[in-house]
Structure 1
């Protein structure tokens, strides 16, 4: 499907696009006035070129590694392409990283310069700079770094920059991305320009309806996931290479995100399942507040049945939605489905989901509501997606088929192995870890999965997360946790039980959902300590646990649970930046609560 790249690097597209169609709207930028302003291909090229000159003037050289510690904003993409233009290697650092995490990444990568967003980040780097003798430069975006660098390089001739750019080849290192790491120190995944070229080329060609949308409608996407994560970074690069209007939003909270979705009006978005769950639950709370919960729930059932009928037809297993179902579906279009789409800006027709599993029912609901969510699967080591659901035959509840050019193999122990041109070349400075996962060209992912008769992959768990009770029963916690988390009052769930007599769970609550639930019962708000002791609330969570237990045998079921007063957060070291649970850290932090479950 996608031809392997043979020449050049990622930055070439910026200059080629400006030459081919200088007036094309390449990006949207939110100005100080709060309004979105369009940026053409030529304007973006000029800013990339000016910044590249400044980097050269300040001593950045071909092959140097430069850290980027910043939220999802325009300057990240600008620095990415400017650094690639001069043959340097951006090294992402999560903006929430601790001083020790920053030190480890900058030290291990041998970073010579660092770009930070604001003063707090600068102070974090400054606190460890005495242990980083190779670090020579520090630029702060909010202190005018782009203008400062552009001015510093104004005297450099364009041709000097282009000589650097032409020296970049597909096998040149594009970036070193450190895995967020649920355990141990992060490892630096070395990804080449060819890795990104293959991945983005394949995505743009195979998922053509996403990137080219309807006739007369310009495709656009608003990035709000961290650009320090490979998923957001890859789609950001694909947007530039695929001539999709790209916008950035650094705040994931609904109060900031929803107005920008409405103003920017993307045609597709990428998100983790948590975002889709929040959109769904917020829509239902709004309906319940208007006294229309029954109508909303009926609309959900109709959407799911409608999407199931479409899915069956795509696989040759049915005729599609019946006339009666189509009438019901049309009835709820303006009442419910249009409102859900409007919450995402009004133009969204496609979405991509990754990072963890999206429930089949939730995926079907969005499909029935007019937004096709393509769930996929991949790792930093595979430059994001290795599998994804194809546009014409989406099978909800799976992570799809191997992307063209990629092979998936299930090992004897159920581990998922991947092979393809997007697989990384190894971990920086860690041949032992590299040898542990790269085996004769195959990447051993550490994830467990199965392939159905049509080749669709389902992820069933992670090898390191399998619990073994004291009775010898192996339990994969992911499915149980996802089912408990699907309850609107639940924010997070972690299943425990390793070397214990039975399986139990710790549950955190969605504060907004609980406040709404109390209001609908005409009850006063409760402080968090009181929530965990409220018998009615406990009964609601018990229902979620009982429902989850229908998925498994009695030996694997959750026997008891405890509600916690506060959610697991990244700030407290209990979540990775991509919102995955740090199991060992959580069990250590809540050791007393876990012991009490078995008391």
Structure 2
């Protein structure tokens, strides 16, 4: 197989009438077969070729997750061009940087709002010939062209045949928790290798239904796009985060991938609802959760389950867990978690509920997928063994190094950064980790994000942050601080969707500004921190905390588009609060 478009063509020939995609419509959901997908990609590719897309060209995609994103991506690749992905949440200046740095000459934008963003920086985009708008109107000057009017003629198969496996397929700019975003160059072969590695695991089949809401601008979403073509699995697409739970109940998918924040949100919503109910329901939920976790931990140790515990667990399942599974359609075989560390407490809760989360790991620089837990050998706290064909070793300083066909070609226009990242033929991930006796990888923290206290002790902040969030359902984000300080402290933000019903039921202030300093709210946070601190060495415990009035968001620059905390930005925005922890 030489390219992603060739992979699509093979899929169309193999299962032309099988469902490929499902998308929301006024009447509910509308399906598209692989044959219909191939026809639409062919038509769009010939039209884009007429607008200048072709070998060596770059076409930027600025849209949320939807069917047209995938069709446009496949069409661009079919012309021999490469796709440059841009998050729809990016500012006008950020979008202009990606477009100009990548050398994109066409932009496919979602709607008139995104077009207006581009128009505001048009002077910075002298090489952009046209903007193709998915849902929008044409411009009198001819710069903006509706997607519905893009069509052309030519030899589609000849275009596809001319694509080499070593040709550039995708430029994805790292969202950058620190520093300037870098364009990661990924070839057709990178993606084909990553997809075939997942297929080799035998986890997916044509009877599955994949629900995709993740940003396709992110490497994780892009990998899922290619995997589903390779495996012939239908995908239902809807990028609206507020519709995830509703969509799962209607679609009844068999698996879904998500960032840990989504699983945290589900857990916290369930836990908070039970707290609000109180009484017998809360006691049953607390008992069921404890019983389920006890069973899960025994399984993890390879220990047998006592008969009485098994009876209790089956009752807990009937009273609590079965209802949770039904909320997600009742057909979930597993979830996949990536993009950030998953709290072990969250993993245990979902597994107890029969909704096992397979945590995986990869970087944009490794085509997103390098490690994945397997359903029959899940080890919580690890990201599983390498995918077939991926190699790994741990450097002397603990850094995780990755090798294999999924490793990027390099950073666009940055030869020195490329040489540093690919030193000695290994991708230097920047993550600290270790391998267990079964070859499963445990990521302990980011090499550059480890906290070193003034006493010389190292603390892994993301591990603490995940545990604190799991211990208090009312929290949205936790930021642990303490680098070069004499103890650790934390900033926490409230998930108002979850905490407001509790606050109203308890006659507490229902707005974040008033609630954050209320003694009851602070007591809830302190209880969670005390619970986590109890298992930690003294130097790693969180001594003080502050509840912030505003959550961390992508828009404020405190989160990356994949919902990871930008640590330096948070420290800059809240420097006075952090300094105040140590003023005495």
Unaligned runs of 5+ in 1: 1-6
1:498 corresponds to: 483
Task: Tell whether 2:167 aligns with 1:172.
Answer: yes
1:3 corresponds to: none
- 147 and 109 in structure 1: CA distance in 2 versus 1, 3 angstrom threshold: closer
Aligned-partner Cα distance in 1 for 2:150–2:354: 50
- For residue 44 of structure 1, give the secondary structure of its aligned residue in structure 2: helix
Aligned-partner Cα distance in 1 for 2:539–2:274: 39
Aligned partner of 2:78 among 67, 80, 85: 85
Moved more, 98-107 or 69-78: 98-107
1:557 corresponds to: 541
- For residue 222 of structure 1, give the secondary structure of its aligned residue in structure 2: strand
**1:259, distance to aligned residue in structure 2 (A):** 1.9
1:4 corresponds to: none
Q: CA RMSD in A?
A: 1.9
Aligned-partner Cα distance in 1 for 2:573–2:129: 38
Task: Tell whether 2:423 aligns with 1:439.
Answer: yes
Instruction: State the aligned residue count.
Output: 575
> Normalising by structure 2, what TM-score?
0.95
Aligned partner of 2:151 among 145, 150, 153: 153
- 49 and 144 in structure 1: CA distance in 2 versus 1, 3 angstrom threshold: farther
- For residue 11 of structure 1, give the secondary structure of its aligned residue in structure 2: helix
- 551 and 67 in structure 1: CA distance in 2 versus 1, 3 angstrom threshold: farther
- For residue 384 of structure 1, give the secondary structure of its aligned residue in structure 2: coil
Q: Does the CA-based 8 Å contact 1:575-1:582 persist in structure 2?
A: yes
Aligned-partner Cα distance in 1 for 2:240–2:314: 34
- For residue 578 of structure 2, give the secondary structure of its aligned residue in structure 1: helix
- For residue 594 of structure 1, give the secondary structure of its aligned residue in structure 2: helix
- For residue 177 of structure 1, give the secondary structure of its aligned residue in structure 2: strand
Aligned partner of 1:268 among 248, 255, 262: 255
Task: Tell whether 2:563 aligns with 1:570.
Answer: no
1:547 corresponds to: 531
Q: Does the CA-based 8 Å contact 1:51-1:150 persist in structure 2?
A: no
| Alpha-carbon displacement from aligned partner over 1:556-593 (angstroms, at most 9, x marks no partner) | 22111111111111111111001111111111111121
**1:327, distance to aligned residue in structure 2 (A):** 2.2
1:238 corresponds to: 227
> Aligned runs of 1:586-597 on 2, under 5 Å?
586-597=570-581
Aligned-partner Cα distance in 1 for 2:452–2:566: 18
1:363 corresponds to: 347
Q: Does the CA-based 8 Å contact 2:20-2:233 persist in structure 1?
A: yes
Q: Does the CA-based 8 Å contact 2:135-2:146 persist in structure 1?
A: no
Off by >6 Å, runs of 4+ in structure 1: 144-147
1:307 corresponds to: 296
**1:8, distance to aligned residue in structure 2 (A):** 1.9
2:141 corresponds to: none
| Alpha-carbon displacement from aligned partner over 1:47-87 (angstroms, at most 9, x marks no partner) | 11111111112221222100001111111111111111111
> Aligned runs of 1:65-464 on 2, under 5 Å?
65-143=58-136, 148-149=146-147, 151-154=149-152, 156-157=153-154, 160-206=155-201, 208-209=202-203, 211-212=204-205, 218-253=207-242, 256-291=243-278, 292-312=281-301, 317-319=302-304, 321-464=305-448
Q: Does the CA-based 8 Å contact 2:383-2:440 persist in structure 1?
A: yes
Aligned-partner Cα distance in 1 for 2:84–2:326: 36
Aligned-partner Cα distance in 1 for 2:146–2:118: 20
Aligned-partner Cα distance in 1 for 2:56–2:159: 10
Aligned-partner Cα distance in 1 for 2:149–2:493: 50
Q: Does the CA-based 8 Å contact 1:240-1:246 persist in structure 2?
A: no
Aligned-partner Cα distance in 2 for 1:364–1:498: 30
Q: Does the CA-based 8 Å contact 2:493-2:550 persist in structure 1?
A: yes
Unaligned runs of 5+ in 2: 139-143
| Alpha-carbon displacement from aligned partner over 1:142-178 (angstroms, at most 9, x marks no partner) | 1279995565424x14xx1111100112111110110
1:16 corresponds to: 10
Aligned-partner Cα distance in 1 for 2:33–2:81: 25
Aligned-partner Cα distance in 2 for 1:63–1:161: 17
Aligned-partner Cα distance in 2 for 1:105–1:450: 35
Aligned-partner Cα distance in 1 for 2:560–2:442: 23
Q: Does the CA-based 8 Å contact 2:186-2:408 persist in structure 1?
A: yes
